[in-house]
């Protein structure tokens, strides 16, 4: 899913956002149907479950990834970076739609009743409740999220400088997403949720290696 070379204009940006929004809506509908079927095998997650916390927090995480990708697409003419950014934006928008669909299927609030990261502050399956293995605090920032200052720095950059800053931020962003997905895998046996988390670990680990190579080429 690539576009002709050239700097993205306003029309290109709108087209990508519309495409991502349509994809998100379609995936949410499909996820709703799949979720209904999945309840035949898996118990429905409850509000304080790892599955619900993962769905809420990873949506936020993914949507920032979409924002970062759209920013760099407007800041560079480099085809390789623009293709990567487009793929990240569309993939993460689709996956966010899937997680939105899960919560709707489970009849759970999109916001939830607990601070973000609470699910990762609880022990994984098989760990004692007094275990210190959980490394996150309820309400703490999600791993890998860019700060507002970092986002503004990316917005102000252009060309190779923007490419480097984007790659630096997105490598850390992907590492955080992998950490969250692996935390879910240690806390859930829900087939649908485990499938997506496994896919995130595999795809984003691969993209981290690609981005590290791209960053080295621009150093």
pTM for the whole structure: 0.80
Q: What pLDDT does 25 receive? A: 47
Q: What is the predicted pLDDT for the residue at 8?
A: 44
For the chain, the average pLDDT equals 85
Helices (H), the chain: 10-38, 50-75, 79-105, 118-121, 148-156, 159-185, 191-217
> Tens digit of pLDDT for each residue in 172-192?
999 999 999 999 999 999 999
In whole angstroms, give the CA distance from residue 84 to residue 161: 16
Cα 105 to Cα 44: distance, rounded to the nearest angstrom = 9
pLDDT for residue 158: 97
Q: How many CA atoms lie within 13 A of 58 on its CB side?
A: 35
- Residue 19 confidence (pLDDT): 52
In this prediction, residue 125 carries a pLDDT of 75
CA–CA distance, 109 with 129 (Å, rounded to integer)? 26
- pLDDT tens, position by position, 80-107: 999 999 999 999 999 999 999 999 999 9
Instruction: For residue range 108-156, list pLDDT tens digits in order.
Output: 999 999 999 999 999 887 665 444 445 688 888 999 999 999 999 999 9
Q: What is the reported pLDDT for 68?
A: 98
> What's the CA gap between 85 and 92, in Å, rounded?
11
Indicate the length of the chain as a whole number.
219
Maximum Cα–Cα distance for the chain, whole Å? 56
Contact yes or no for 165/151 (Cβ under 8 A): no
Q: Sign of torsion, CA 48 54 57 63?
A: negative
Per-residue model confidence (pLDDT) at position 13? 53
CA–CA gap between residue 16 and residue 215 (Å, rounded) = 25
SS3 17: helix
């Amino acid at each position: 899913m690539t576009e002709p070379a050239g700097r993205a204009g306003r029309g290109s940006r709108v087209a990508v956002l519309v495409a991502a929004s349509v994809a998100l809506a379609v995936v949410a509908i499909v996820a709703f149907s799949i979720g209904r079927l999945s309840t035949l095998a898996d118990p429905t997650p409850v509000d304080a479950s790892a599955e619900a916390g993962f769905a809420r927090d990873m949506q936020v995480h993914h949507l920032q990834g979409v924002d970062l990708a759209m920013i760099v697409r407007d800041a560079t003419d480099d085809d390789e970076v623009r293709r990567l950014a487009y793929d990240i934006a569309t993939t993460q928008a689709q996956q966010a739609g899937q997680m939105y669909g899960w919560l709707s299927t489970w009849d759970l609030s999109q916001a939830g009743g607990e601070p973000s990261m609470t699910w990762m502050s609880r022990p994984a399956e098989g760990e004692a409740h007094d275990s210190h293995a959980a490394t996150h605090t309820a309400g703490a920032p999600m791993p890998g999220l860019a700060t507002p200052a970092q986002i503004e720095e990316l917005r102000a950059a252009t060309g190779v400088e923007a490419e480097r800053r984007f790659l630096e931020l997105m490598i850390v962003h992907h590492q955080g997403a992998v950490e969250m997905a692996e935390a879910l895998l240690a806390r859930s046996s829900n087939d649908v949720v485990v499938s997506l988390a496994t896919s995130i670990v595999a795809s984003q680990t691969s993209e981290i290696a690609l981005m590290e190579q791209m960053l080295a080429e621009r150093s």
